Amino acid sequence: MLSFRQLRSLSLRAWQPEWRPITLSVIATILWLLFWCDWSAWYLLPPWLHWIGFTGELGVVAYWLYWPRGCNRTLYRGILSIGFVPFWGWLTFASSSMGWHPLEKFFANVGLAAAFIIGLCWAVWYIELRSRHYELLAGQSPRVNVKRWNPLDLAAWYYGVKRQRLDQSALTLLSYCLCFLFVVLIAGKISGCREIYESPLGGGKPKKIRQTVKIQQVIKRKFVINPYSAVVFNPPPIEDIKLQIRKLTDNKYRVGYGNNPGSGFATGTTRGKVRFIRLEYAGGDWDQDLERNADLNMLLQYGIRTKQQVSDRNETREIARLKNFPAHKSPPFVYITGQRNLAIGSNDQKILREYLIEKHGLLFADNGGSGGWGGQFLQLMKEVLPTVEAKIIPLDHPVHRVPYEIPFLPYVAAHGGKDAIGWTMQGRLVAYYHPGDIGDAWADDHAGVSRKITEYCYQTGVNVMFYAHAEYHKWLAALEKEAGNQR
């Protein structure tokens, strides 16, 4: 263990001019790692800070690329190789932030392949260097009949007598692959194993939204005319006199669940935000309308209408990653859409079942464009919830009443009927299926449907999101109460 004095002298040495660049680079790298974790899992920092963090690390890389000119080529190549990682991270982050999801996937995959090859090159180079060194040592020293274990030494007993170099290369490749796989798995776990979802802290009641309009003052222009005047006046007719009404419009209603001030949920947190998570799945177009900001528009509309804190970006997750959320910090709803194939394996079905039942989640499905997708979704739900029947959700169900009263189910195109279908467990809606491409109406151009239908589509979206959050927090509140009683 280092003593306090040793630590102090080490820290002083680290800030000396010759060590300062290295110290700063290490700090920048740690910060970069934290930014990366936050971007992929924690969601605590705003996106502009991510941009600064990721771009700043590129500056550090540029400095190191500039610095060693004239020094040996191996060191320069090492810097290039290490510098590749932040560059790869920046490309992936930037394409994701710009909403170019196919490009993000491309950069992620190509970068991973490149990282594998770079690492392999370095492993081969190092093994070759060391084995040459041992060969040289063996040539200089007299032969001693000792069993050697060092894998870098070609004379190690397990390489045998023939084709030692081939055996060493094979072992190197195998070991490298295992190590790389291990690192990738660990990195994947870091970004996925500790995900949490926190709703905004606040209160409110699950009631219909009503606006308070109070007329503050009416200013009426008066025309005072002397009836005995010699001048002829032409006063305007009464209907042409414009009333200047100053309205005081205030939405007194707080959308939420609980008694805390502001709109939100009693079991939420101050840093919590409502998020919009779309599920990724294999075989189809899960990302339909994503580039047209359907999810983001809906999320922002939810924030504007409910006055709850919302995230400033939409998110996507593979179904398998739902298991990374703990039961009490899990997203109250997830969204799924598409129009082609819906291929969800039995493992993902199990995760989905656990999410819906044990984590009290809600699956918000939207038929993005074909009867086939609708049929596949209904079949999927039969497998996920085999003991629950799909039923038409009535128009006076709370999900269609609160906070907005929906007079009829709005749709863009009736791909799978004209009624919303629900799966109810213990009085709670666990899945909501919209048959008519509601996501298209949320997208930037609203699919060209009328303003009224677009508005109803947003209202339906708000209702489903709010219902999911309210039910989730009712459950959390009940759990808290139960725990309190037990104490």
Partner 1 sequence: MVSRSRKRSRKSALAFLILFLAVAPTANALGYLEQIQVETFSAMREVERYQLKIAEKHYNKNEFRIALDEYDKFLTLYEKSPGAPYAQLMWSHCQAKLRFVNTAIRDGFQSVIDYWPESQEAILACYLIGRSYDNIGQTEKAESGYLKTVNDHPEHYVATLAKVNLLHLAKVQKNEKKRMLLLANLTFETPRTKANSQYLVNATRELAAKQLYAGEYGEAIRALETTYKDGEMVKVYNDIAKGAIDHYLRGEKTRKQGIELADSVVGMVLTLIPTVIESDADRASARDAWHRVIDLYARTGRHSKVLEIHEKMIIILGEDDGLLGGLATFYRNRKLYDKARETYRRFKDKVNGLLLIAGLFCEENRYAEAIEIYQSLADRIVGQGLLAGLFRQLEKYDDAITCYKILMEIDRENINLHRWAIGECFESSNRLHNAIAAYGLVDDFPKTYFKMASCHRKLKEYKQALMLYTQCKVHAPSAPDAFMAIGFTYEEAGQASNAVRAFQLLCKNYPKSNHASRAHSHLQSKHGINVTLGGAKEE
Q: Which is nearer to partner 1, 61 or 420 (CB)?
A: 420
Q: Which is nearer to partner 1, 198 or 366 (CB)?
A: 366
Q: Residues with Cβ < 8 Å from 3, sequence gap 6 or more?
A: none
Beta bridge partners of 213: 249
Contacting range for partner 1; rule: CB under 8 A; set: 6-14, 23-31, 147-155, 424-432: 424-432
Q: Which is nearer to partner 1, 348 or 437 (CB)?
A: 437
For residue 140, count other CB atoms closer than 10 A to its CB. 7
Q: Which is nearer to partner 1, 79 or 290 (CB)?
A: 290
377: contact with partner 1 by CB under 8 A:
no
227: contact with partner 1 by CB under 8 A:
no
Q: Residues with Cβ < 8 Å from 302, sequence gap 6 or more?
A: 274, 276, 308, 310, 461, 462, 465, 466
437: contact with partner 1 by CB under 8 A:
yes
In the complex, what is the shortest distance from the CB of residue 456 to partner 1, in angstroms, rounded to a whole number? 8
Contacting range for partner 1; rule: CB under 8 A; set: 50-58, 352-360, 404-412, 470-478: 404-412
Choice from 224, 448, 483, 484 touching partner 1 (CB under 8 A): 448
Choice from 160, 239, 445, 485 touching partner 1 (CB under 8 A): 445
* Whether the Cβ atoms of residue 63 and residue 49 lie closer than 8 Å to each other: no
467: contact with partner 1 by CB under 8 A:
no
* CA 291, chain centre distance (Å): 15
349: contact with partner 1 by CB under 8 A:
no
Distance, CA of 268 to CA of 265 (rounded, Å): 5
Beta bridge partners of 431: 363, 423
Q: Which is nearer to partner 1, 258 or 435 (CB)?
A: 435
Cis ω for the linkage preceding 403 (within 30 of 0): yes
Contacting range for partner 1; rule: CB under 8 A; set: 99-107, 227-235, 344-352, 436-444: 436-444
What is the β-pairing status of strands 258-259 and 212-219? unpaired
Choice from 308, 339, 376, 459 touching partner 1 (CB under 8 A): 339
- What does the radius of gyration of the chain's CA atoms come to, in whole angstroms? 32
415: contact with partner 1 by CB under 8 A:
yes
Q: Which is nearer to partner 1, 50 or 434 (CB)?
A: 434
Q: Which is nearer to partner 1, 130 or 428 (CB)?
A: 428
371: contact with partner 1 by CB under 8 A:
yes
Interactions with partner 1, residue window 237-296 (CB under 8 A): 289, 292
392: contact with partner 1 by CB under 8 A:
yes
* CA 17, chain centre distance (Å): 41
Q: Which is nearer to partner 1, 355 or 442 (CB)?
A: 442
409: contact with partner 1 by CB under 8 A:
yes
By CB under 8 A, the count of residues binding partner 1 is 46
Q: Which of 321, 332, 339, 348 is nearest to 429 (CA)?
A: 332
What does 358-402 look like in DSSP terms, one character per residue? TS--EEEEEE-S-HHHHHHHHHHHHHHSTT---EEPPTTSHHHHS
299: contact with partner 1 by CB under 8 A:
no
* CA 480, chain centre distance (Å): 28
Choice from 20, 246, 418, 481 touching partner 1 (CB under 8 A): 418
What is residue 194's three-state secondary structure? coil
In the complex, what is the shortest distance from the CB of residue 455 to partner 1, in angstroms, rounded to a whole number? 11
What is the β-pairing status of strands 362-367 and 203-204? unpaired
In the complex, what is the shortest distance from the CB of residue 438 to partner 1, in angstroms, rounded to a whole number? 10
What is the β-pairing status of strands 428-434 and 362-367? parallel
Which three-class secondary structure string do you get for 466-477?
HHHHHHHHHHHH
Contacting range for partner 1; rule: CB under 8 A; set: 251-259, 306-314, 393-401, 475-483: 393-401
413: contact with partner 1 by CB under 8 A:
yes
Residue in this structure with the two tokens 């989905």, named with its chain if needed: 352
Interactions with partner 1, residue window 102-121 (CB under 8 A): none
* Whether the Cβ atoms of residue 251 and residue 212 lie closer than 8 Å to each other: yes
Q: Which is nearer to partner 1, 17 or 407 (CB)?
A: 407
366: contact with partner 1 by CB under 8 A:
no
* Whether the Cβ atoms of residue 108 and residue 39 lie closer than 8 Å to each other: no
Q: Which is nearer to partner 1, 39 or 456 (CB)?
A: 456
370: contact with partner 1 by CB under 8 A:
yes
User: Amino acid letter at 104?
Assistant: E
| Distances 416 to 141, 285, 387, 450 between C-alpha atoms, Å | 82, 17, 23, 21
Choice from 310, 322, 363, 393 touching partner 1 (CB under 8 A): 393
* CA 310, chain centre distance (Å): 13
DSSP 8-class letter at 236: P
Residues of the shown chain interacting with partner 1 in the complex, contacts defined by CB under 8 A: 289, 292, 339, 369-371, 386-397, 407-415, 418-419, 422-424, 426-427, 436-437, 440-441, 443, 445, 447-450, 453, 456
